[in-house]
């Protein structure tokens, strides 16, 4: 994207630099200067988070940068979306609703939280259930949220079987046709995902975004669209 207006370039840079406070400050300034909120998202901040994803793939950014950039993006969105509503406008619709959590018996949270943050920053509505989530809680949340996608993390070989149990419960309750399932975690791989009947596997946060887009049939886009 070519930035003819300097403020959009500044928005882009605050996300790429992982500047949470700067992103929030710039979002406020943009609104005060009369920049349409939807343009701020689509032409400034969203391209920034997509660039961060590119830098991750190129090996220039690592996990801390990914998480910090996601927080910068979320800080900007927290200011811009209420402005849309107060003007009688419509906030960008979520690309899909995602329920995510770490499986029962496993308290590891960092990797799952990074995936949740990146999904949120790229336009998904994310319901993060946290670590040590009981099997029935996943099922309840899928029902309550009318989730399009369920993501489950397991960091221990002793807990990964729980992912398969949740898939079985989804099938038992007639929910499986309506929700896609992704699994991840250090002992998990594509063969395991296939074995338990999940729709896919992601080894890291950026792959989780691509996998989510693939299983949901979505194109590559950030908040507000392509």
Residue 22's pLDDT is: 96
pLDDT, tens digit, for every residue of 168-182?
Answer: 999 999 999 999 999
List residues bridging with 190 in a β-sheet: none
Residue 38's pLDDT is: 77
Same fold, 6-86 and 97-216: no
Is the CATH number 1.10.1240.10 carried by domain 6-86? yes
Mean pLDDT of 217-224: 62
Residue 191's pLDDT is: 97
Q: Which helix (H) or strand (E) holds 184?
A: strand 180-184
pTM attached to this predicted model: 0.71
CA distance 181 to 163: 10
Q: Sheet containing 200-201: which strands, arranged edge to edge?
A: 125-128, 97-102, 149-153, 180-184, 200-201
More confident residue, 167 or 110: 167
Res. 10 pLDDT band, cuts 50 70 90: very high
Q: Are the C-beta atoms of residues 114 and 100 closer than 8 Å to each other?
A: no
Statement: residue 54 has pLDDT above 90: no
Residue 27's pLDDT is: 94
More confident residue, 84 or 140: 140
Fold classified for 97-216: Rossmann fold (3.40.50)
Residue 226's pLDDT is: 38
Res. 219 pLDDT band, cuts 50 70 90: low
Statement: residue 3 has pLDDT above 50: no
pLDDT, tens digit, for every residue of 30-43?
Answer: 999 989 887 888 78
Q: Are the C-beta atoms of residues 199 and 215 closer than 8 Å to each other?
A: yes
Q: Which helix (H) or strand (E) holds 127?
A: strand 125-128
Give the β-pairing of 149-153 and 97-102.
parallel
The answer for residues whose C-beta is within 8 angstroms of residue 58's C-beta and 6 or more apart is none
CA dihedral 107→108→110→116, nearest 10 degrees, is -70
Mean pLDDT of 74-93: 71
Mean pLDDT for the chain overall: 88
- SS3 call for 26: helix
- SS3 call for 204: coil
Res. 84 pLDDT band, cuts 50 70 90: low
User: Where do the domains of the chain lie?
Assistant: 6-86, 97-216
């Amino acid at each position: 994207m070519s930035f003819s207006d300097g403020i959009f370039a500044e928005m882009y840079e605050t996300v790429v630099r992982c500047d949470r406070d700067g992103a929030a400050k710039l979002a406020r300034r943009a609104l005060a200067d009369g920049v349409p909120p939807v343009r701020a998202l689509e032409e400034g901040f969203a391209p920034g988070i997509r660039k961060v994803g590119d830098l991750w793939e190129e090996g220039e950014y690592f996990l801390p940068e990914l998480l910090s950039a996601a927080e910068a993006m979320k800080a900007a969105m927290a200011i811009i979306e209420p402005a849309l509503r107060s003007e009688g406008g419509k906030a960008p619709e979520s690309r899909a609703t995602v329920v995510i959590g770490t499986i029962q018996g496993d308290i590891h949270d960092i990797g799952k939280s990074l995936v949740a943050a990146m999904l949120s920053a790229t336009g998904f509505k994310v319901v993060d259930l946290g670590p040590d989530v009981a099997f029935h809680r996943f099922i309840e949340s899928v029902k309550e949220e009318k989730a399009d996608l369920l993501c489950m993390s397991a960091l221990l070989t002793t807990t990964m079987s729980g992912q398969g149990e949740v898939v079985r419960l989804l099938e038992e309750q007639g929910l499986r046709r309506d929700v896609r399932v992704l699994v991840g975690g250090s002992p998990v791989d594509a063969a395991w995902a296939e074995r338990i009947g999940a729709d896919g596997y992601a080894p890291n946060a950026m792959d989780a975004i691509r996998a989510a887009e693939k299983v949901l049939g979505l194109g590559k886009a950030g908040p507000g669209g392509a």
